[in-house]
Amino acid sequence: MVLTASTMLPLGTKAPEFHLPEVVSGENISLANFADKKALLVMFICRHCPFVKHIQQELANLGKDYLNSDLVIVAISANDAQNYPNDAPESLKEMSTELGFKFPLCYDETQETAQAYTAACTPDFFLFDQERKLVYRGQLDDSRPSNNKPVTGADLRAAIEAVLVDQAVTSEQIPSVGCNIKWKPGNEPNYFG
């Protein structure tokens, strides 16, 4: 594991398009599936990373808490499943079922979507407004596996709440940190390392 921080993609960036299979249903998911929603949260996660394990219940809570809101959540795993079998689609399907995710969990086998978002770590969060412009990319909250702070989702939840009531999201955002995305050999983007 390499401790890695978010790339902090510039605010205002348009959400890159994607077409990815959802691991539970097998359905193909794209931005068009959510065109009617006011806000879009794209989360890059995986199953094996201790940083994701530390917050996985809060991720499930986000899905439940915002299920009937104007926010749509999409989780994506882009890790190399050949070298990290816990992050293969079947294992991700188990994770989604066990945690009761109320949002799609997609698998980015080519890693092209992760690269389009400049996703660097797990977890990595990207929140977009109704025009699908980036308004937040940063940490879930101050909790880390080693600091004994409670997992609250405070930073991300504050950004979500602001978008849902048409308020500006603070531009003072703290990068998310976690394990680096497990790039396939030779597939590492220029922003990695």
Question: How many contiguous H segments (helices) and E segments (strands) does the chain have?
Answer: 4, 10
Per residue in 160-172, pLDDT tens?
999 999 999 999 9
104-130 average pLDDT score? 98
Q: In sequence order, which residues have a C-beta less than 8 Å from that of residue 133 and are 6 or more positions away?
A: 11, 12, 13, 14, 15
Per residue in 33-90, pLDDT tens?
999 999 999 999 999 999 999 999 999 999 999 999 999 999 999 999 999 999 999 9
Residue linked to tokens 């899905």:
63
**pTM score, whole prediction:** 0.96
Please state, in angstroms and as integers, the Cα–Cα distance from residue 15 to each residue in 42, 50, 135, 158, following that order. 9, 27, 10, 20
Q: Give the Cα separation of 156 and 134 in Å (integer).
A: 13
In this prediction, residue 1 carries a pLDDT of 56
Please state, in angstroms and as integers, the Cα–Cα distance from residue 2 to each residue in 108, 179, 180, following that order. 20, 6, 6
